[in-house]
Amino acid sequence: MKLPSPQTLPEFQSVFPNEEACLLYLFDLRWPGGFVCRKCTGRKHYSYPLRRTVVCKTCRTHVRLTAGTIMERSKQPLLTWFYGAFLTTTLTPGISAVQFQRQLGIGRYETAFQLLHKIRAAMVAPERELLHGCVEIDETLIGGVHKGGERGRSTQKKTLVIGAVEVRQGRKRSVVAGRVRLRAIPDAACSAVVGFVQENVVPGTTVLTDGHNGYNALQRLGYQHRSEVAAALPLAHREFANLKTWLRGPHHDRVERKHLQAYLNEFAFRHNRRFWPFSAFQRVLQIAMKTAAPTYHELYQADEFGTDVHVR
């Protein structure tokens, strides 16, 4: 079944005029071939949109459509979630919590903040494929990130970010960036950089790095490791420059170090789908249906690098 992918706000409003339309969309994402009861495999059901629930006609099993999703236990209308997914994926720089709160008339900033973070959790596909072919790896320092969110204080500790960029052939022997992965790491120790490569790149891949000897173990681990002079990593450098521009944008002036990883995930998701922003909307909701998002408590208790809540 082909689900609609609205491309403009008027289209969005006609596809999703109310809660029921959103619920039907979630229904189709969960059961693309029609309802099947997980207990008795019955196919007939009743729908209760107000309770976000479907009940099997045969055995009366209740299925809450938002259970086990990023929307679980949310009191916000589904329409607010759908607007969040639509605006995050289709607006070029994304949307800030402040803008989102204003545009949708959400009462508290924290509600908007939390909702967008949960959407970011649906920007990392659990079954995503590792990078392959030829991959540039490099690190950069992301500065101006407020430690612990104490705004205005000059404790702007820089955070080390490692990135992997697939090298693809462009036209006329040029190279273009394929998929990107990014991770905030505590330091450039061998264990951190090599661990990142192992989690994100298929063994056997040609891996280009700078001369940092932390990468030397890669050859032994089955990678074709080539260490280049720094100037020979053009794609990684360009992505880091794009990332910094994006993070400096007006929306992201409140990024705290412990949540930086969530923005790195969003940046990579946007980059990897930059030619298909409208299918990205559907993709986010698809992942959202299978993703338990960080709770309010987890978001605020995240460790220094947000590893426990933003790395999956």
Q: Residue numbers of the site for Zn ion (CB under 5 A)?
A: 37, 39-40, 42, 56, 58-59, 61
Nearer to Zn ion (CB atom), residue 39 or residue 312: 39
Nearer to Zn ion (CB atom), residue 59 or residue 232: 59
Q: How far is the CB of 49 from Zn ion (least distance, A)?
A: 20
Q: How many CA atoms lie within 13 A of 251 on its CB side?
A: 18
CB neighbours of 273 closer than 8 A, spacing ≥ 6?
Answer: 89, 279, 280, 283
Q: How far is the CB of 38 from Zn ion (least distance, A)?
A: 8
Nearer to Zn ion (CB atom), residue 53 or residue 58: 58
Sign of the CA dihedral with 284 first, then 288, 291, and 293 last: positive
Residue 174 phi/psi, 5-degree rounding, is: -80, 165
Q: How far is the CB of 67 from Zn ion (least distance, A)?
A: 16
Place of tokens 């790491």: 185
**Two tokens, residue 151:** 């705004």
Q: How far is the CB of 269 from Zn ion (least distance, A)?
A: 36
Nearer to Zn ion (CB atom), residue 37 or residue 122: 37
Place of tokens 């759908």: 82
Q: Find residue 161's DSSP bridge partners.
A: 140, 184
Q: How far is the CB of 63 from Zn ion (least distance, A)?
A: 9
The amino acid that residue 270 corresponds to is R
d(CA 58, CA 234): 61
User: Which of 27, 38, 129 minimizes the C-alpha distance to 78?
Assistant: 27
CA distances from 116 to 97, 187, 225, 296 (A): 7, 28, 38, 12
Nearer to Zn ion (CB atom), residue 42 or residue 149: 42
Q: How far is the CB of 64 from Zn ion (least distance, A)?
A: 15
Nearer to Zn ion (CB atom), residue 53 or residue 99: 53
